[in-house]
A and B are shown apart, each in its own frame.
Chain A
Amino acid sequence: KAGVTQTPRYLIKTRGQQVTLSCSPISGHRSVSWYQQTPGQGLQFLFEYFSETQRNKGNFPGRFSGRQFSNSRSEMNVSTLELGDSALYLCASSLARTSGNSYNEQFFGPGTRLTVL
């Protein structure tokens, strides 16, 4: 199976702009999660989507948003970019998890490196 893919791999933007990042999950995976990785804060959960619905959201401002399409592909959007948004954005996919079921492994993509100037 092909792994999780993320596009673009690198992105440079300036403050105030907006950006859209894309994630294609492993075929058959219906859950997509997004994480932000920075040297100072480490890996932080942004949100998770399943069947085109956001199921869980981390502690990030409303400038960070996402969506999931019917084919499970997901996008995240960051509006009004700030310097502090410079980070590696990771996407992870997994099989659907229903309440009470055992853990389904999350498979991570290579990330999109966003630099805000």
Chain B
Amino acid sequence: AQRVTQPEKLLSVFKGAPVELKCNYSYSGSPELFWYVQYSRQRLQLLLRHISRESIKGFTADLNKGETSFHLKKPFAQEEDSAMYYCALSSSGAGSYQLTFGKGTKLSVIP
């Protein structure tokens, strides 16, 4: 069975400081991993996916299969980054979707 662990419920950083949101996973197959974000009073939305290896809003995440991790990083936090962040793993059976989410980390950026 797949599992996603986000060890920090809350992470507070000062504006301009580096941010790292941790995510570890367990999955027997080849994982597809994502970070979703939920800003206050907004819908859950995709931030980035490991396949695309892109940087969104200054955030990056590298899949480390050896350590089974997919940590989200940003070199300089901004106040607008304050939100709930969820790490998620996609497992597919017969082409269908099932996202397994971590319990989320609330990022608070202190001005």
Contacts and interface: CB of A to CB of B under 8 A. Distances in A.
Chain A bound to chain B: yes
A42 B32 contact: no
B12 interface: no
A101 B45 CA distance: 21
B49 A42 contact: no
What is the size category of the interface that chain B forms with chain A? 20 to 34
Given A3-B43, A42-B103, A108-B45, A94 B98 contact: no
- Chain B contact surface mostly: loop
B95 A55 contact: yes
A94 B86 contact: no
B101 A43 contact: yes
A106 B97 contact: yes
B17 interface: no
A101 B95 contact: yes
Interface string B6-39: 0000000000000000000000000010100000
Given A105-B46, A108-B43, A45 B98 contact: yes
A97 B99 contact: no
A75 interface: no
B51 A103 contact: yes
B99 A45 contact: yes
Contact of A56 (B32, B97, B101, B104): B97
Interface of A: 3, 31, 33, 35, 42-45, 48, 50, 55-56, 58, 90, 92, 94, 97-103, 105-111
17 contacts: A3-B43, A35-B99, A42-B101, A42-B102, A43-B86, A43-B99, A43-B101, A44-B101, A48-B96, A55-B93, A97-B95, A98-B95, A99-B92, A102-B51, A103-B51, A103-B90, A108-B43
Interface of B: 32, 34, 43-46, 49, 51, 86, 90, 92-104
